[in-house]
Structure 1
Amino acid sequence: MIPIALPLLAEEEADAARAAVLSGWVSQGPQVAAFERDFADLVGAPYACAVSNCTIALHLALAALEIGPGDEVITASHSFIATANCIRYCGATPVFVDIDPGTYNIDPNRVAEAITPRTRAVIAVHQMGMPCDLAALVTLAERHGIILIEDAACAAGSQIRVDGDWDCIGKPHGQIACFSFHPRKVITTGEGGMLTTADAKLDHKFRLLRQHGMSVPDIVRHGSSQVIFEDYLVVGFNYRMTDIQAAVGRKQLERLPELVSRRRAIAARYGELLGNFEGLRLPAEPDWARSNWQSYCVGLPDRVDQRTVMQSLLDQGIATRRGIMCSHREAPYANEKPRHDLQQSELAQDHSILLPIYAQMSKEDQERVGCALRRELQAYALQQAAR
């Protein structure tokens, strides 16, 4: 079986986890603090705060901004449902807008159309690791006085060109960027997330809220030679990362440049294998973006049935996934009325598939995937021609 994804974890990560276990400090502690420093240095952010997962990071971002009932947050429906759920957690209203079909990312023109006096924030998703149009979104947010949050769950290692220089996603462009370390992502801690920001006050609020509003962190209290009594200043949450996870994450960060390089080579090879098939739409980077290629999504030719293609590939031992889901089609959001149609989002869900991509993928397996897909599409083309 060729899986859709496969994390690259080796002896170095196992040794790091073992060392954390044997240290006696396995909950949030010195390894988490070191992971935060390492991540901030890597992406060029003044502050980074580690949490349990990216859904929590998004919720924490909105909670720290005190977004709540009566507020609207604009985002893409074409995203994992966690993006919308975190808005609902705060009692705010998600406002879904459509995507650019070329990048599968939120369309800044559609965002502009959806802004009202109730709009407090935009959550822009770097879908499948492809950077969204931050330049346009930052300008739009500043013009209307609203917050820009980057859902960078898939985007560790992706880059965007700003004023001629390449910046890592996570270097503050909006107010906050949120990352995931789920096993489907380029680097993993099993579960885990990170928030980056340039705002010291926001970073302080993240740290307060992730640990029940506790005024003194555990690492300070346990390391003090004086007795310290902590206070609980606000109603917070238990959103902490463990030191075991952070120790693994630090080793994964060391691998990140190599992992991204390998994925970019695989994406280029897919382009060679599939690029000349009529009607098959391949993903493409804008000239200002460098994707980490967390996923590789292809749009199927017209009249080709998504499920049939996926089942045929699965029967041949090749795992795929359907196009990214649309939250407005799911039961919790069925009554939300979009400001405009979400045609491109729905087309992307219904008529695209994600192909296997991971750093260890061999050329032979990639060619097997490419040949199997071409055969299936050629069979469809012959069927259509015969009708």
Structure 2
Amino acid sequence: MKPWLGAEEAEAAAAAVLSGWVAQGPKVAAFEDAFARRVAALHAVAVSSCTTALHVALHLLDVRPGDEVVVPSLSFIATANAVRYCGATPVFADVEVETGNLSAATVEAVLTERTRAVIVVHQAGVPADVDALRALCGPRGVTVVEDAACAAGSTYRGVPVGADAELAAWSFHPRKLITTGEGGMLTTNREQWAVRGRRLREHGMSVSAAERHSGGGAVVESYLETAFNYRMTDIQAAVGLVQLSKLDAIVRRRRELAARYHELLATVFETDGPGLRPVRDPEHGTTNYQSYWVMLPEDTSLERNDVLARLAERGVSARRGIMAAHLEPAYAGHPHGDLPVTESFTKRSLILPLYHDLTTAEQDTVVEELKAALHVPLAAR
């Protein structure tokens, strides 16, 4: 993955520096407004990362020790960590084979009377079926929080992912489609949560630093609750505004490249028998192809790490697929049920290079070297 950055972003960052206002200020407010409009949410709260957005979301829900929050183990470890930050217990649920996402069936299997929330991840930009999860969780008083870290530009039932979310968290890390270097966003359709979220990101102050410095006169703030320092800077937001203007073009280009991968790898994809299985759009939406992952066949003798090593030797920078948190040392001994799909997914998946400036020749090289690493016969190549 390479971010699509250029002179326009550099000029925007420089302008923010030259303005003298480099901390959270007017550019952050403008970025919040623009992002909320883009994802069809009523409110957006800019923060320092998607991880901090998740933490604030759980704080807004008053998640505390003794509570449980259902999460996929198949996700970057931050999803589970945010639950621990609140002193609550992450409960790992399995995922669907087709999408790598939680489903109503996998979540229902682990719900208890202590479940306070479910964090559903739109994994690698593939939209999860959140309507089914809300139908399951709503009558139980369980809130569905959307981890949309990778999902900017993806759609669900014809609208942007996160449009109807009670709470959704987003990432602007350089591995995502649009970046501010580091940074995140929390979106919600509840005004009271947006107001408190902005307070929580800034030490619990009753009046923001930007309001104090721009309002004129003497303004003395109060600190209304114990909170955090999760602010975004105006430099980051200035870059984010430029990046957001490119989002449609980025999604369009990634979907073109993904379609070409589908075509070039068709001979080794699963059809009537075992073969590579690629990420694809689910029936209920479209993916932005934040990552182009493929799954090795169940019955293959190939080890995923051996395939990655072979590709690396040939100059192709592929990566392991999505991690499973319950298999990491940080969660050693953490109780969990059987997670067969999760464990198969993390063991057999790998991510191929996909970025805006990927050339046809580079993509051809990736495909040829992958086929060679898989020992595909020459006739199939």
Is TM more than 0.5 here?
yes
Which runs of structure 2 are paired with 1:236-275 in the superposition (5 Å)? 236-275=227-266
Choose which of 90, 93, 103 in structure 2 pairs with 1:97. Answer: 93
Structure 1: how far apart are the matches of 2:294 and 2:211? 50
Choose from 2, 5, 11 the match for 2:7: 11
Question: Alignment partner of 2:46: what SS?
Answer: strand
Instruction: Indicate the SS of the match to 2:267.
Output: coil
Runs of 4+ aligned structure 1 residues displaced above 2 Å come to: none
Query: In the alignment, is the contact (CA less than 8 A) between 1:59 and 1:86 conserved in 2?
Result: yes
- Report the alpha carbon displacement of residue 6 of structure 1 after superposing the two structures with TM: 0.4
* TM-score, normalised with respect to structure 2: 0.95
Q: CA deviation at 1:276?
A: 2.3
Partner-residue secondary structure (3-state), 1:276: helix
CA contact (8 A) 1:97 1:107 kept: no
Alignment partner of 1:291 out of 281, 284, 287: 287
Whether the 8 Å contact between 2:103 and 2:133 is mirrored in structure 1 is no
Is 1:348 matched with 2:345?
A: yes
Q: Which runs of 5+ in 1 are unaligned?
A: 383-387
- Among 312, 328, 337, the alignment partner of 1:314 is 312
Amino acid in structure 2 at the alignment position of 1:79: S
Do the aligned residues in 1 keep the contact of 2:41 with 2:163 (CA within 8 Å)? Answer: yes
The answer to whether the 8 A contact 2:126-2:282 is kept is no
Query: What residue is the counterpart of 2:360 in the other structure?
Result: 363
Structure 1 Cα separation of the partners of residues 226 and 316 of structure 2: 47
SS in structure 2 at match of 1:143: helix
Question: Is the partner of 1:378 in helix, strand or coil?
Answer: coil
Q: Distance in 2 between matches of 1:184 and 1:29?
A: 25
Which residue number corresponds to residue 128 of structure 2?
132
* 1:312-332 deviations in Å (ceiling 9; x for gaps): 111111001111111111122
- Contact 1:172–1:196, Cα closer than 8 Å, also in 2: no
Aligned-pair distance for 1:159? 0.5
Q: Residue in 1 aligned with 2:185? A: 194
Cα distance in 2 for partners of 1:85, 1:348 equals 21
Partner amino acid for 1:304? L
Contact 1:275/1:282 (<8 A) preserved? no
For 1:385, the equivalent position in structure 2 comes to: none
Please state how far the C-alpha of 1:369 moved relative to its aligned partner: 0.5
Whole-Å separation in 1 of the counterparts to 2:230 and 2:45: 11
- CA drift of 1:66 comes to 1.1
| Mapped partners of 2:72, 2:186: distance in 1 | 20
Corresponding letter in the other structure for 1:188: T
Q: Counterparts of 1:248 and 1:311 in 2: how far apart (Å)?
A: 35
Aligned residue pairs total 371
- Output the TM-score relative to the length of structure 1: 0.94
Out of 167, 171, 178, which is 2:163 matched to? 171
Gaps of 5+ in 2: 269-273
Q: CA offsets per residue over residues 112-137 of structure 1, 9 Å max, x none?
A: 11111100000000000000111211
